[in-house]
Amino acid sequence: MKVKPDKIRFFSPEDNADEAPKVTPKETTFSTSVTKTGRLAFPQKLMEGLNIDPTKPYYKIGTVNRRKGVKALYLMPTQQGDSEAFELSKTGRGYSIPLKGVLQKIGLNFQDHEYTFTIRPYDFGDDISGFELVSDQQTPRTGASDESEE
């Protein structure tokens, strides 16, 4: 049986190149949590991994209004003196933003439940980049693992 040349897949010298399988670098995900005292924690590793500059510590913090609670928080950089600015402050080896009142108003029971957020860069447009914090779960707090702050 004869095979016509147009039915044959011919190889190229590039096909013969010994190449390692392409490994796509795994995207590092960062997460943060709310402390029992209502602070949004920013450990040093997260600060470095997301290139958060502690010398520019002012952020506007918001959420999208939904009927079924809050799915994400948004942190948009702003300047000192902005009436809506929250300040990132040094706490222990990392940083945090005190949000006790805001978190209570949006219904997060951080004293009894631990809230963890996946944090990633977010583009607000107009050359403004900040962060999106997404939470899918809450877990009851256990007495032993709580860290006391303030």
Q: What pairs with residue 122 in β-bridges?
A: 130
pLDDT in tens, 76-124: 999 999 999 999 999 989 999 999 999 888 888 888 888 899 999 999 9
Collect all residues with Cβ–Cβ distance below 8 Å to 47 and sequence separation of at least 6. Answer: 54, 94, 95
What predicted TM-score, i.e. pTM, was given to this entire model?
0.71
How far apart are alpha carbons 98 and 37 in whole angstroms?
8
pLDDT averaged over the chain? Answer: 83
- The residue with greater pLDDT, 113 or 27, is 113
For residues 40 and 9, the model is more confident at: 40
Name the phi and psi angles at 101, rounded to 5.
Answer: -65, -45
Q: CB–CB of 70/54 below 8 Å? A: no
Burial class (CB in 10 A: 0-12, 13-18, 19+), 17: exposed
